[in-house]
Amino acid sequence: MAEQAQAKKYSKPLPHLDEENRPWWEALQRHELYLQKCRDCGDVRYYPRALCTNCMSSQVQWIKCSGRGKVYTFTTTYQNQSPGFRESLPYIMAYVELEEGVKMLTNLVDCPPEQAKIGMPVEVVFEDVTPAVTLVKFRPAR
């Protein structure tokens, strides 16, 4: 019941969890950020998926990320008519390039729009939005 109440209150779109991506989302619930790396060719990929995006191997290992990266690009959104976002304008959407080399679409938080800069060092923030879903966001590195 408490879960339902919280899920109702959170009105932004939620990801669909399935057997292929569940380990990634479960790690986020523990406030840990992992990436997949191919055991055969070593290629690192984001977002998580069952087969290597370089050699199609099914052999996967999970590597733990430092949670640090830099802003690759960003935009401050002033207009979005969809529920959840229209109440939280403006917000910053960004690609953050992790130290491990991949870019993730995310939000910059604790960052006034005028402070956002490309190349700015950022660190991970885990935002528990429902009991099942924790989102990876970033804030200016402290």
Partner 1 sequence: MSLSRKTAVAGVYEHPTRFAPDKSMFQIMAESVRGALDDAGLTIKDVNGLCTAGIGMSGMGIVGLCDYLNLTPNFVDSTSIGGSSFVAHTAHAAAAIHAGLCDVCVVVYGSTAASSRFAIGTGGERGGAGDPCDQYEIPFGPTTVGAYAMIAQRHMHDYGTTSAQLAEIAVTTRLHASMNPAAKYRDPITLEDVLASRIISSPLHLLDCCIISDGGGALVITSAERACDLKKKPVYVLGAGETVRHAARGQRDFLEIAAAQSGRLAFERAGVAHKDIDMAMIYDSFTITVLATLENLGFCKRGEGGAFVSGGRLRFDGEFPINTDGGGLSSNHPGMRGIFLVIEAAKQLRGECGARQVKDCKIALVHGTGGTLGTRHSGATLILGNQ
Residue indicated by tokens 């989302």 = 25
Q: Does the footprint of partner 1 cover residue 56 (CB under 8 A)?
A: no
Query: What is the dihedral sign for C-alpha 11, 98, 68, 116?
Result: negative
- Considering only residues 78 to 137 of the shown chain, the ones binding partner 1 according to CB under 8 A are 78-85, 88, 91, 93-95, 101-107, 113, 118-119, 129, 133, 135, 137
Candidates 8, 9, 16, 142; binder of partner 1 (CB under 8 A) is 16
Give the Cα separation of 110 and 140 in Å (integer): 7
Question: Does residue 55 bind partner 1 (CB under 8 A)?
Answer: no
Cα–Cα distance, 91 to 113 (Å, whole number): 8
Q: How far is CA 120 from the centre of its chain?
A: 17
Query: Residues interacting with partner 1, by CB under 8 A?
Result: 12-17, 20-21, 43-47, 49, 53-54, 72-85, 88, 91, 93-95, 101-107, 113, 118-119, 129, 133, 135, 137
